[in-house]
Amino acid sequence: MYRFLLSRQWVTLTLIGLVLIPVMVELGFWQLHRHQHRVTQNELIADNLTAPPVPVTELTSPGRAIPRADYWRQVTADGTFDTTHEVVVRRRTNADDRVGFHVLTPLVLADGRAVLVNRGWVPAAADQAAFPEVPPAPEGRITVTGRLMADQTTDASGIKDLSGLPPRQIMLINSEQQAKSMGLTLLGGYIEQTAPEPSAGTPELIPDPDHDSIGAHMAYAVQWWLFAAGVPVGWVILVRREKRDRVAAAPAAAGAEAAAETTSGAGEPVAAPGSAGV
């Protein structure tokens, strides 16, 4: 009764189900790993944002890559802003999703080294190629507090580091690249300024990164695993339905076959009496 499972249609359906099950299971684990990564990252952000600030020179130096454990760590830097080497970072949004620029200004430390400081967001000019209106940086010696950030790269951010940009405009904040173009000895990474706040309210300081939401990755993982479990269940249901339909159709098929045989037998010629002696 189950010989229909050997038909091309059922063999194809079974093979598709066997392929879908491991694929859906793997997709579920992928979403689970994304959930775990988000939870770990949120914990790291929360811990580093609440940790006491430390001097930036304790965590980074020229050419040093910022380790992930120090991302968003509160740091301080004491120095003087060098506005002659100030640049802006294109295509950055503020809290209202308006597109503008981030203002990147080197802060020269007492030992002559410098660290890049992202002073915040300013709106773009009508002409995207024009340098935006940037409020001047504070003059004289100043202590900046902010979040320590790793250098931005195309691989990590997905942003293409374009060439041929207008003067003093960049796409990525990368201390190694800016050290070459500015001719300064820059510490690795950069600082997102959180204090002091600008007196005129601009540039707009960059808000803390979101570290409360975890997204729906766990729900998606469970969903994929339910789909995987549903494949064999659905296959069994289809097989039982196919068997039931075939059993129900069997008497009718047998009757039709018998009728066909009767009709075929009735149509055969019958010899007339006495014809055998002719």
27 exposed, middle or buried (CB, 10 Å; 0-12, 13-18, 19+)? middle
Please indicate, yes or no, if residue 57 is contained in any of the structural domains. Answer: yes
Query: Residue 133 CB: number of other CB atoms within 10 A?
Result: 10
pLDDT on residue 266: 57
Kindly list the distances between the CA atom of residue 65 and the CA atoms of 54, 69, 149, 207, in Å, as whole numbers in the listed order: 18, 12, 10, 23
The string of pLDDT tens digits covering residues 137-172 is: 999 999 999 999 999 998 888 888 887 899 999 999
Q: Is residue 113 part of a domain?
A: yes
Q: pTM score, two decimals?
A: 0.76
Q: What is the rounded distance in angstroms from the CA atom of residue 116 to the CA atom of residue 186?
A: 7
pLDDT at res. 278: 41
User: What is the number of structural domains in the chain?
Assistant: 1
Q: What is the predicted pLDDT for the residue at 206?
A: 95
What SS3 state is found at 11?
helix
Examine residue 129 and state whether it is found in any structural domain, yes or no.
Answer: yes
Q: Closest Cα to residue 115, out of 153, 95, 143?
A: 143
CB 57 within 8 A of CB 76: no
Give a yes or no: residue 227 inside a domain: no
pLDDT digits (tens, 9 = 90+) for 65-94: 999 999 999 999 999 999 999 999 999 999
In 3D space, the residue among 194, 200, 146, 187 whose CA is nearest the CA of residue 60 turns out to be: 187
Would you say residue 270 lies in a domain?
A: no
At what angle are helices 8-50 and 217-266 packed, to 10 degrees?
A: 170
In a domain, 140, yes or no: yes
Closest of 216, 218, 226 to residue 25, by C-alpha:
226
SS3 assignment, position 17: helix
CA distances from 74 to 59, 146, 148, 222 (A): 10, 6, 6, 37
Does 47 reside within a domain?
Answer: no
Asked if residue 23 is part of any domain, the answer here is no
- Give the residue numbers spanning the domain of 161: 53-195
Backbone φ and ψ of 122, nearest 5°: -130, 150
Positions in the chain whose pLDDT score sits under 70: 1, 253-278
- Answer for the pair 175, 190: CB distance below 8 angstroms, yes or no: yes
